[in-house]
C-alpha cells in the first residue's frame, strides 16, 4: 500500500484494518483504528480487533466464503463491539495485500442509527401496549378481570418484575390488583402484605411531582417500603397516582427486579397514559355502580309503596 493510499484511508471516518488471510495477524490499521485500538499490529484479529478469545469470529468473511456464494466479493454485517460498546456496520472482502491474501475490513460507527432504530421500536411497542390496554377495557369482561389482564400485558411486554394497583382506603393502601413474574409472586405480598400506611410512601413527592421513582434503593428516600424492596430483590420502583377529579384513589406501581435503572422520559409518558386509562376506567366503573345502586334503591322503594297499598 503506497503513501497516497495511507493518506486517503487515514482521512475517512471509518475503522480500516487488514489482516493476513492465513494467520489472522493484523497487518495494517488506519488512523481511526489506531485511535480506537492503539498500535499493536501482529496480533490475531479476533483478539485485538474484536476482543474475543482463542477462536475465529463467526462473522469472519473467510468462514463465510465457504458457505456463501463464492462469487460474492463483499460481506456486510452489524456488530456491537465489546470494547468500545458501539455499533458498527462492517464491510469485509478478501484482497491481495503486499503479495499475500488478506482480509480488508471497513467499519462505520452506526451507534446513532441503532439508537434511532431502538427508539422507533420502543415507540411502536409503547403504542402497542396502550392499544392493548385500551382494547382490554373496551371488552365486555368483568372489570376486575380487565384490570388483571391489563397488568399482565404491561408486565410481560415491558419485562417487569411486578405491576400493581394499590387502592387507597382512608389513610391505608390495599393491593387491589397485582401481576408479578412467576418467581416474584411472593415478593410484593411480603413487602405490602394486605394493608400498609400511606405514610410508608413519600406521598408528598408524588403529589408535587405526579410520580415517584427510585433508581437507587440504597438512598431509600421513600420510606420503609423501599428498604423491604431491596431485601426482596426489587431494584427499581416507579409509582404514579391514580386520580379521579383530582382526588387520589390509588397508585399504579411498577417494579423492576433485574437492574437498577433510570426511567426514561418516554417510559414516564407511557405510564402516565396508562394511569390515565386506569383513572377513566375506575371512574366509569364507579359511576356504573352508583347507577346500579340507585336503580336497586328505586325498585326497592317502589316495591315498598306497592306493598303498602296491597
In this chain, the answer to whether the domains covering 3-109 and 113-300 adopt an identical fold is: yes
Distance, CA of 296 to CA of 257 (rounded, Å) = 46
pTM across the whole model:
0.58
The predicted pLDDT at position 218 comes to: 42
Whether 228 shows a pLDDT value over 60: the answer reads: no
| Helix 143-158, helix 111-137: angle, nearest 10 | 170
Report the first-to-last Cα separation within the chain, whole angstroms.
113
Residues sharing a CB contact under 8 Å with residue 144, sequence separation 6 or more, in sequence order? 177
Model pLDDT for residues 72-102, shown as the tens digit of each residue: 577 888 888 877 888 999 888 888 888 888 8
Phi, psi of 49 (to 5 degrees): -85, -35
* Tally of CA atoms within 13 A in the half-sphere of 258 that contains its CB: 11
Looking at domain 113-300, does it have CATH number 3.40.50.800? Answer: no
Instruction: Give the bridge partners for 251, in sequence order.
Output: 166, 241
**Confidence at 150, pLDDT banded by 50, 70, 90:** very high
Q: Residue 32: which of 11, 51, 53 has the closest Cα?
A: 11
Distance, CA of 89 to CA of 202 (rounded, Å) = 47
Distance, CA of 63 to CA of 156 (rounded, Å) = 38
Whether 216 shows a pLDDT value over 50: the answer reads: no
CA angle 22, 23, 24 (to 5 degrees): 100
Model pLDDT for residues 9-25, shown as the tens digit of each residue: 877 889 998 888 888 88
Model pLDDT for residues 31-56, shown as the tens digit of each residue: 888 888 777 656 787 777 776 666 77
- What are the structural domain ranges in the chain? 3-109, 113-300
**Confidence at 217, pLDDT banded by 50, 70, 90:** very low
| Helix 265-309, helix 143-158: angle, nearest 10 | 170
Name the class of domain 3-109: alpha beta
Amino acid at each position: 500500500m503506497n503513501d497516497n493510499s495511507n493518506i486517503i484511508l487515514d482521512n475517512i471516518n471509518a475503522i480500516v484494518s487488514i489482516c493476513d488471510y492465513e494467520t489472522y495477524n493484523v497487518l495494517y490499521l488506519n488512523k481511526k483504528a489506531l485511535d480506537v485500538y492503539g498500535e499493536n499490529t501482529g496480533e490475531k484479529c479476533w483478539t485485538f480487533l474484536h476482543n474475543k478469545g482463542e477462536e475465529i469470529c463467526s462473522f469472519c468473511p473467510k468462514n463465510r466464503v465457504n458457505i456463501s456464494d463464492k462469487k460474492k466479493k463483499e460481506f456486510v454485517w452489524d456488530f456491537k463491539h465489546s470494547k468500545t460498546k458501539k455499533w458498527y456496520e462492517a464491510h469485509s472482502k478478501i484482497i491481495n495485500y503486499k503479495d499475500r491474501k488478506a482480509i480488508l475490513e471497513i467499519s462505520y460507527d452506526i451507534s446513532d442509527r441503532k439508537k434511532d432504530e431502538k427508539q422507533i421500536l420502543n415507540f411502536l411497542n409503547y403504542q402497542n401496549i396502550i392499544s392493548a390496554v385500551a382494547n382490554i377495557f373496551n371488552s365486555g369482561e368483568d372489570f376486575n378481570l380487565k384490570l388483571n389482564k391489563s397488568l399482565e400485558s404491561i408486565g410481560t411486554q415491558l419485562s417487569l418484575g411486578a405491576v400493581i394497583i394499590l387502592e387507597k382506603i382512608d389513610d391505608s393502601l390495599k393491593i387491589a390488583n397485582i401481576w408479578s413474574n412467576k418467581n416474584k409472586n411472593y415478593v410484593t405480598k411480603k413487602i405490602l402484605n394486605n394493608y400498609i400506611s400511606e405514610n410508608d410512601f413519600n406521598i408528598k413527592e408524588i403529589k408535587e411531582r405526579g410520580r415517584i421513582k427510585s433508581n437507587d434503593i440504597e438512598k431509600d428516600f421513600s420510606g420503609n417500603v423501599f428498604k423491604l424492596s431491596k431485601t426482596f430483590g426489587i431494584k427499581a420502583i416507579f409509582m404514579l397516582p391514580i386520580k379521579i377529579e383530582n382526588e387520589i384513589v390509588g397508585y399504579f406501581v411498577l417494579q423492576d427486579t433485574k437492574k437498577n435503572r433510570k426511567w426514561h422520559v418516554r417510559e414516564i409518558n407511557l405510564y402516565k397514559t396508562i394511569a390515565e386509562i386506569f383513572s377513566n376506567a375506575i371512574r366509569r366503573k364507579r359511576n356504573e355502580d352508583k347507577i346500579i345502586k340507585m336503580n336497586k334503591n328505586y325498585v326497592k322503594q317502589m316495591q315498598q309503596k306497592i306493598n303498602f297499598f296491597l
